[in-house]
A and B are shown apart, each in its own frame.
Chain A
Amino acid sequence: MPEAVREPFADPAHQRDAVALGMWAFLGQEVLFFGVLFVFYTSLRVRHPELFAAFAPRLDWRLATVMTVALLISSFTMALAVRFAFTRARRSLVLALSTTMILGAAFLALKGWEYAHHFEHGETPQIDLAGLGRGPGLATFFGVYFVLTGFHALHVLGGLGALGWLAVAAWRTPASDLRGSPVMAVGLYWHFVDIVWLFLFPALYLAGRLAP
């Protein structure tokens, strides 16, 4: 017989505190996780600035601006969701969570469209295995682009999953039983993923544009 889950906390405030700390610790590891990618980026940018000057203009910064705005608004609706969760406003909570999800999904859809576009134009990260002396070039730049944005997109996807789970749970739970801490934890995560994008946007899309 499976034994019941034992939560070792005395009261909800204590639990909320612990969940917040746990989420912050998790975000600490996320910073290091993405840190590797940014060091990879910096290393390439320092050694081969010409790649960024040559190929970054192929990225569509207008599209990326739209995506950025979508994520920023989604952060706002997420913040509202956290507030509604703690005030037990069930309908508003479901609404805020769904809006956040729609905006996140829109971001991913645009990203997917952009990827497809790159592949159509042969802007792929694969290097030519056979050709020796092929040297750094288009594939190198698109390597860093796809790896960085790819890991970010996976995090957005994970966030959507968590949001969906929260929305369904909120839909099913009577308002009096709503618990704020899961929403707060997912909220922290969602903001973090947005912030990562705020670094990726200039680092990739705007790189090399000011080069003489």
Chain B
Amino acid sequence: MKSWLTTTDHKRIALLYLGTMTLFFTLGGLVATVIRVELATAASDLVTADTYNRLFTLHGVIMVFFFLIPSIPTFLGNYLLPLMLGAPDLAFPRLNLASWYVFVAGGLLTLTAMVAGGLDTGWTFYTPYSTTFSDSHVILAVLGVFLAGLSSVFTGINFIVTTHRLRAPGLAWLRLPLFVWSLYATSLILVLATPVLAMTLLLVAIERGLHVGIFDPEAGGSPLLFQHFFWFYSHPAVYIMILPGMGVISELVPCFSRNRPFGYGFVAASSLAIAVFGFLVWGHHMFVAGQSYFASVVFSFLSFAVAVPSGVKVFSWLGTMHRGSIWLTTPMIYALGFIALFTIGGGTGLALAMLAVDVHLHDTYFVVAHFHTIMVGGMLMAYLGGLHFWWPKISGRLYSERWGRIAAYTLFIGFLLTFLPQFVLGTQGLPRRTASYPPEFQFLQGLSSAGATILAVGYVLPGVYLLASLVRGRPAGDNPWGATGLEWCTSSPPPPHNFVRPPVVTDDPYDYPRAPQPTITGVGDA
């Protein structure tokens, strides 16, 4: 126990993060369940409207700041980055451990706020409600989120320095795995966007606690300024959430198509392009908030521009599968699910980025469906896909492929049933964040709640068979999937310093036609 709490081994810290984030995800999921039960009927009969506000805020804060943002970077990234680079560890192992402690402290603060009576501002903390009118625990909660942000910054700095300074001999930039490129782009956003949120939240706490009129219009402050600050962070933050997922998919698709990635250079560059463009579109959250018409037009245009590099990635995945020989394993099912749902989510994002359309759709269920399609449909699929792909490496064991597939399909169906109706609800004008709604929306809301039940089953299943694999799974061997990449050249799980002999890279990545044969047997159509 103590050796875990004082470890500086990136692999162990990754697992500490996995455990912590699984707890947060479970908590956020339980709250979502209560929300969906409440919404199954039109009246607000299970909880009061006031409690409902606290529930969706808790759900949003936990899921965004304590699960989605850290998820892939701190777990898979932490575990795999040094392995993929052929390094013994991250550049600053102690900083890495510190980031976990800061993260846990932030989580505890936030949970304290929730237990002490909750928070009802929504995950967006809009002023002046959060600074003046809300009677919930704003200060505790923003300090918790501040700490979570600090831990993100530590992780980002660590990843940037590691990628620059600890690549194995011969591992030139254009030989880096695409997952590393996406982590690098994510780290840039983590380091350059998070401080804006951090300072903004501190200002909210200062205004609320010390009555300094920073955002208060009465005292000469500006509530719109808060929204600019918040979205200046939070739009890039959506790319913090999705970029690592895209990186995972860029690993899965070549491996299970047994083909080189189509347009490697473009995919690598598109990660950086997304990181840069992502900083320039925050105003599309403020079309109806009173920003100037000119600003809205520019932000709308730039939002369309940011879709281009995302499109590049989708075409690359399709092009890689084209003429490849597709091997439909559990991770690949998740990858296909990701591609489908990310495309829907991105496309509806463009719909929202159109000025006239957004006036109608803003703050409706359409927005809820848009971002859940990307965050749950996209990012969570990528997270689970990555988890299943690297699980044999991390645990040294094979899980039940049959149950893996069942869970993946369950999740996909559950997802569609839960969130497609919400698109329709939104176009019909149902506002988000209300506990009760007019009875004519009953059917679609009921459908959505039914879908959520299926989703819940889909999330519990991997928990069961992955844990079971630790006890009774067959040994995985070094490279069960026959994948390329340095992480597959060492044992499963890797030894403390990752490699017995420091690797030297002599070839380009993804040499799939010549890759080792899969050693996994009895799995599907291999």
A12 interface hit (Cβ, 8 Å): no
CB-contacts of A17-62 with B (<8 A): 17-18, 21-22, 25-26, 28-30, 32-37, 39-40, 43-44, 47-48, 51
Q: Which of A126-134, A167-175, A201-209 sits within the interface?
A: A126-134
Partner of B210, one of A8, A28, A33, A126: A126
Rounded to whole angstroms, the CA-CA distance of A26 and B203 in the bound complex is 21
- Give the distance to chain B from A186, nearest Cβ to Cβ, in Å: 15
A165 interface hit (Cβ, 8 Å): no
With A5-B94, A36-B229: A29-B218 Cβ-Cβ less than 8 Å: no
- Give the distance to chain A from B355, nearest Cβ to Cβ, in Å: 24
Q: Which residues of B contact A44 (CB under 8 A)?
A: 220-221
Are A143 and B213 in touch, CB under 8 angstroms?
A: yes
Closest to B10 in A: A8
B27 interface hit (Cβ, 8 Å): no
B29 interface hit (Cβ, 8 Å): no
Closest to A30 in B: B195
Q: Which residues of A contact B218 (CB under 8 A)?
A: 127, 132-135
Number of A-B residue pairs, CB cutoff 8 Å, is 139
Rounded to whole angstroms, the CA-CA distance of A1 and B6 in the bound complex is 9
Are A2 and B6 in touch, CB under 8 angstroms?
A: yes
B273 interface hit (Cβ, 8 Å): no
Closest to B93 in A: A6
Residue from A32, A35, A44 having most chain B Cβ neighbours under 10 A: A32
Are B89 and A8 in touch, CB under 8 angstroms?
A: yes
Mostly, the A contact residues are helix
Rounded to whole angstroms, the CA-CA distance of A30 and B89 in the bound complex is 26
Are B219 and A136 in touch, CB under 8 angstroms?
A: yes
A196 interface hit (Cβ, 8 Å): no
A159 interface hit (Cβ, 8 Å): no
Mark B478-509 against chain A: 1 for CB-CB distance below 8 A, else 0.
00000000000000000001000000000000
B90 interface hit (Cβ, 8 Å): yes
- Give the distance to chain A from B142, nearest Cβ to Cβ, in Å: 14
Q: Which residues of B contact A33 (CB under 8 A)?
A: 195-196, 198-199
Are B212 and A29 in touch, CB under 8 angstroms?
A: no
Are A48 and B220 in touch, CB under 8 angstroms?
A: yes
Rounded to whole angstroms, the CA-CA distance of A193 and B182 in the bound complex is 32
B477 interface hit (Cβ, 8 Å): no
Q: Which residues of A contact B87 (CB under 8 A)?
A: 8
Q: Which residues of B contact A140 (CB under 8 A)?
A: 213, 219-221
Are A8 and B203 in touch, CB under 8 angstroms?
A: no
CB-contacts of B140-182 with A (<8 A): 153, 156-158, 160-161, 164-166
B222 interface hit (Cβ, 8 Å): yes
Are A147 and B212 in touch, CB under 8 angstroms?
A: yes
With A28-B191, A28-B192, A147-B203: A125-B210 Cβ-Cβ less than 8 Å: yes
Q: Which residues of B contact A132 (CB under 8 A)?
A: 218
Residue from A48, A125, A137 having most chain B Cβ neighbours under 10 A: A125
A3 interface hit (Cβ, 8 Å): yes
Closest to A131 in B: B218
Q: Which residues of B contact A32 (CB under 8 A)?
A: 192-193, 195-196
B511 interface hit (Cβ, 8 Å): no
A139 interface hit (Cβ, 8 Å): yes
Are A18 and B497 in touch, CB under 8 angstroms?
A: no
Closest to B202 in A: A151
Are A22 and B91 in touch, CB under 8 angstroms?
A: yes
Are A25 and B191 in touch, CB under 8 angstroms?
A: yes
- Give the distance to chain B from A165, nearest Cβ to Cβ, in Å: 15
B110 interface hit (Cβ, 8 Å): no
Are A2 and B161 in touch, CB under 8 angstroms?
A: no
A146 interface hit (Cβ, 8 Å): yes
Are A36 and B196 in touch, CB under 8 angstroms?
A: yes
Q: Which residues of B contact A18 (CB under 8 A)?
A: 91-92, 161, 164-166
Are A47 and B222 in touch, CB under 8 angstroms?
A: yes
With A22-B91, A25-B160, A135-B218: A35-B212 Cβ-Cβ less than 8 Å: no
Closest to B91 in A: A18
- Give the distance to chain A from B6, nearest Cβ to Cβ, in Å: 4
Are B93 and A40 in touch, CB under 8 angstroms?
A: no
Q: Which residues of B contact A1 (CB under 8 A)?
A: 2-3
- Pick 23 A–B contacts, CB within 8 A, sort by A: A2-B3, A3-B9, A6-B88, A6-B93, A8-B82, A8-B88, A14-B165, A18-B91, A18-B92, A18-B161, A22-B92, A22-B161, A25-B157, A26-B157, A28-B192, A44-B221, A47-B222, A125-B213, A126-B210, A126-B212, A137-B219, A139-B212, A143-B214
15 new A-B contacts, CB < 8 A, other than A7-B93, A125-B213, A136-B219, are: A1-B2, A2-B2, A6-B9, A6-B88, A6-B89, A22-B161, A25-B161, A36-B229, A39-B228, A48-B220, A126-B211, A127-B212, A134-B219, A136-B220, A140-B221
Lowest 5 CB-CB distances: which A-B pairs, in order? Answer: A136-B220, A33-B195, A36-B199, A140-B220, A2-B6
A: residues with CB less than 8 A from B are 1-3, 5-9, 14, 17-18, 21-22, 25-26, 28-30, 32-37, 39-40, 43-44, 47-48, 51, 125-127, 129, 132-137, 139-140, 143, 146-147, 151
B: residues with CB less than 8 A from A are 2-3, 6-9, 82, 87-95, 153, 156-158, 160-161, 164-166, 191-196, 198-200, 203, 206, 210-214, 216, 218-222, 225, 228-229, 497
